[in-house]
Amino acid sequence: MLTGRSPSTPSDDRARPDVAVVGAGPIGLSIAWRCAARGLRVVVHDPASGSGASAVAAGMLSPVAEAYFGERQLTELLLASAARWPAFAAELTEASGVQLGYRTEGTLVVGLTGDDLAEARRLWAYQQGLGLPVTPLRPTELRDREPALAPRVRGGALASTDHQVDPRLLVPALRTAAQRAGALLVPQAVRHLSEVDAAVTVVAAGCGAADLTGLPVRPVKGQILRLRAPGGVAPGFRHVIRGYADGETVYLVPRTDGEVVLGATVEERSDTTVTAGAVLRLLRASVDLLPELAEYDLVETVAGLRPGTPDNAPILGPLPGRPDVLAATGHHRHGIVLTPVTADLIADLVTTGVADPLLTPFQPDRFAGAEPGPGGRPDQMMEEDRWNSR
């Protein structure tokens, strides 16, 4: 077992790693942590750890409220990962010494108008049909839980098991835990998989996976805002609030330190500019739901790129014809909630060679015949064409 060796020992640096991870966001780092803790020699490559989608993510752990029509297999994976989150968070805090802002007050889903509520109720009925714990609340129950909600808000439901974590605390915690377990972080970009020499390579590069693998991963722009309660106090609400407001959808994530993350747009664009219209729509919906937010400081406006896939589900498993290269990307809007299950199951795959049945729907080969990602380079596209040919 290699666990506990110093990553800075020169002889270790020169040894061929068991695992090379490309990408030091939550997915790559958690895989590296799990593999290193099992005694594997792990190197993680990223010129800017934590600068991808996780820097913009809100950190909602919402398999229930995000159980959408037609995404049943994804919902199962989300539920499996959310169930792992409490133990994962405890273990990570133990390993890193970092508190993660893990909060268990649950999520309220609310509708501002009658139309908004009708739309929300359709989804609740679907979620209840799956046996998920979403509980419609009477208006008095809703106000008892969150008195700051606007009087206009017509109704809501509680998803008590949908928690939250702070992604900007998660990434440094994972970095510390991975390094303490012996993983070596190399702050350099990988432009081509041939630059990596390891027994197994894990591509956890988010949108960058398209260029590296030819997989159909595309950037999906999201704009978010960060507010801060005035006077350094905690926000005037405790639940994550997911709102339907005059046809817009918005979420509001309160942190104990006073921060509120407010998001998010979902745009088929690859730029990261913040637009006036997006800020307007997010603020309007939010202030309509929670009027006191108008008095909060607006401290950050930012856009990031989520790694989207043709079916909006992640890509988890070996590249066709390349059993030594595992994809762990395409997490789209679900990277934070899917971190524990991705880490555990990819680490299992690395160490045992056996894929958990949970991974079956998310294999890279499901896109056989699909167009490659927009960033796919010609040589990689040809390679993909080869493995995708029937």
Under the rule (CB under 8 A), what is the footprint of a copy of itself?
225, 227, 230, 273-277, 279-280, 283-284, 286-287, 293-299, 301
Give whichever of 230 and 247 is closer to a copy of itself, judged by the CB atom: 230
Minimum CB separation from a copy of itself for residue 245, in Å?
13
Give whichever of 225 and 241 is closer to a copy of itself, judged by the CB atom: 225
Minimum CB separation from a copy of itself for residue 271, in Å?
9
Give whichever of 118 and 299 is closer to a copy of itself, judged by the CB atom: 299
Question: What is the C-alpha separation between 75 and 162, in angstroms, rounded?
Answer: 13
**Structure tokens belonging to residue 381:** 């596209």
Give whichever of 55 and 279 is closer to a copy of itself, judged by the CB atom: 279
- Measured in degrees and rounded to the nearest 5, phi and psi for residue 355 equal -90, 130
Buried residues in 176-210 as b, exposed as e (16+ CB within 10 A): bbbbbbbbbbeeeebeebeebebebbbbbbbbbbb
Residues 342, 27 contacting (CB under 8 angstroms): yes
**Structure tokens belonging to residue 33:** 């942590």
Buried residues in 135-149 as b, exposed as e (16+ CB within 10 A): ebbeeeebeebbeeb
Minimum CB separation from a copy of itself for residue 233, in Å?
14
Buried residues in 318-337 as b, exposed as e (16+ CB within 10 A): bbbeeeebbbbbbbbbbbbb
The β-bridge partners of 220 are: 306
Residue for token pair 């679907």? 126
Give whichever of 19 and 229 is closer to a copy of itself, judged by the CB atom: 229
Give whichever of 123 and 227 is closer to a copy of itself, judged by the CB atom: 227
Give whichever of 64 and 225 is closer to a copy of itself, judged by the CB atom: 225
Minimum CB separation from a copy of itself for residue 152, in Å?
16
The bridge status of strand 19-22 relative to strand 200-203 is parallel
Minimum CB separation from a copy of itself for residue 204, in Å?
31
